[in-house]
Amino acid sequence: MLTSKRIEVEGYHEAVELFYERGWTDGLPVVPPTEERVEAMVQAAGRDAGEVIGLVPPKWARATVEKIAVNAVMAGCRPDHFPVVLAVAEAAVDEAFNLHGVQATTHVAAPLIIINGPVRKDLDINAGPNCFGQGWRANATIGRALRLVMINVGGGLPGVTDKSTFGHPGKYTYCVAENEEASPWEPLHVERGFHHHDSTVTLYAAEAPHSISDHPSQMAKGILTTIADSLATMGCSNMYKAGELVVVLSPEHAATIGKEGWSKQDVKQFLFEQARRPLGEIKRAGEFYGEETLRRYWPKWVDPKDDRAMIPVVRRPEDIIVIVAGGPVGRFSLGIPGWGDHGTRAMTKKIAWAGTHDEVCDT
């Protein structure tokens, strides 16, 4: 039984204007959350409408299945999208993700959703051409549903509690699937301890994607050297505050690297060793706060008196998250810096998904 307050309106346009008036949108029109639509969403999840998924900061309001369903309807989700939305919400309210910080920071960070497993095909979640762009309902609405929950349940209002200096377009929706079929390695969810036929979401506090072009390199080392140089920039939060960092390899780049026998761990180790800058350079810019930066964020082996010491963009290779995504043509990859080590870690949650796709691959 639904418990949300009912509001009578004359029609669709009146409903949309009411939601604008009350600040219940992300700036785009919404689908009116009628009782029938919300009930269909809840039923698709097979969970009680009153079940509390968690508390959403900074208001610390209770995110029930029903409240999340209301926002999923508003975002344009279909009922079969809803189990994914619930898993995303569970990742967001996990204490280790630190949604409170992500909601309130002056940084541009926004939750990036990475989806793995058979659910990608069942729901036609784009992992191929233009996967970070427009054109796919599932990508657009699942990511948007989380943002509306952050606004309407958590109270993340721009300029009020959301203090981001700029934000970025991913704060509307930021959802992508891994192109597992194009990867020479195990997919992200398997790497993180799940079975290949599980469906999962991984949530990461992310900047916008940064394009990395390398068309000439025909060897793994050349491609990865270009990527490493692009990651270790003076204005990057990771360069000063470590944390995690995402690298998205295009299928072309991944194929070149994989053919030489490089493992995913080899890729991470190489990037960890090469994505560095001299201490003397980074002391003069970015977010260097002297001894505090040295003690809190950088490895203990860094000699604070040696300006030639090379500072890594993350503390350890495991802090680099590597996935494969994108279209089959184009020798580009992406670097997606994070929020740095502000108490946030990427969280992976299993989707309660029976699934309809027949392709199951055991690892």
Residues 178 and 214 in one domain: no
Cα–Cα distances in Å, from 83 out to 200, 204, 220, 245, 326? 10, 19, 38, 27, 24
Predicted confidence (pLDDT) at residue 4 exceeds the cutoff of 80 = yes
Answer yes or no: is 362 within a domain.
no
Across 264-287, average pLDDT: 93
- Indicate if the alpha-carbon torsion angle 59, 56, 52, 5 is positive or negative: positive
Q: Same structural domain for residues 169 and 307?
A: no
Residue 16 shares a structural domain with residue 57: yes
Residue 361 in domain:
no
Place of tokens 């199951």: 360
Question: Which spans in the chain are helix H?
Answer: 12-21, 35-45, 65-75, 82-93, 99-104, 119-122, 137-152, 188-191, 220-231, 237-241, 251-259, 264-274, 279-282, 291-297
d(CA 39, CA 19): 20
Specify the range with the lowest mean pLDDT, choosing from 225-229, 278-282, 334-338.
278-282
In this predicted structure, the answer to whether residue 308 has a pLDDT above a threshold of 80 is: yes
- Rounded to 5 degrees, φ, ψ at 12 are -60, -50
Contact status, residue 126 vs residue 177, Cβ threshold 8 Å: yes
pLDDT confidence of residue 356: 55
* Domain membership of residue 84 as a residue range: 10-207+343-354
Predicted pLDDT at 359: 40
- Partners of 336 in the β-ladder: 246
**Co-location of 138 and 57 in the same domain:** yes
- Mean pLDDT over 250-259 rounds to 98
Q: Mean pLDDT across the stretch 352-359? A: 64
Same domain, 195 and 297: no
pLDDT in tens, 18-44: 999 999 999 999 999 999 999 999 999
One domain for residues 203 and 214: no
Q: Are residues 128 and 237 in the same domain?
A: no
- pLDDT category at 1 given cuts 50, 70, 90 is confident
Report if residue 98 sits inside a domain: yes
Please check whether residue 3 lies inside any domain of the structure: no
Which amino acid, one-letter code, is at 315?
R
Q: Looking at the structure, do residues 43 and 164 belong to the same domain, yes or no?
A: yes
Query: How would you class 81 by CB atoms within 10 Å of its CB: exposed for 0-12, middle for 13-18, buried for 19 or more?
Result: buried
Contact 272, 232 (CB under 8 A): no
Residue 71 DSSP one-character state: H
Phi, psi of 230 (to 5 degrees): -70, -25
Q: Considering the domain boundaries, does residue 288 fall inside one?
A: yes
The answer to whether the beta carbons of residues 113 and 175 sit under 8 Å apart is yes
140 shares its domain with 288: no
Is 102 a domain residue? yes
The domain total for the chain is 2
- Let me know if residue 279 belongs to a domain: yes
Taking Cα atoms as reference points, which of 251, 250, 302 lies closest to residue 276?
A: 302
Tell whether 123 and 196 lie within a shared domain.
yes
With respect to residue 267, please indicate whether it lies within any of the assigned structural domains.
Answer: yes
Tell me the pLDDT tens digit for each residue of 50-103: 999 999 999 999 999 999 999 999 999 999 999 999 999 999 999 999 999 999
328 and 198 assigned to the same domain: no
- Among the residue ranges 94-98, 287-291, 313-317, the one predicted with the least confidence is 287-291
The verdict on 227 and 190 lying in the same domain is no
CB atoms within 10 A of CB 33: 21
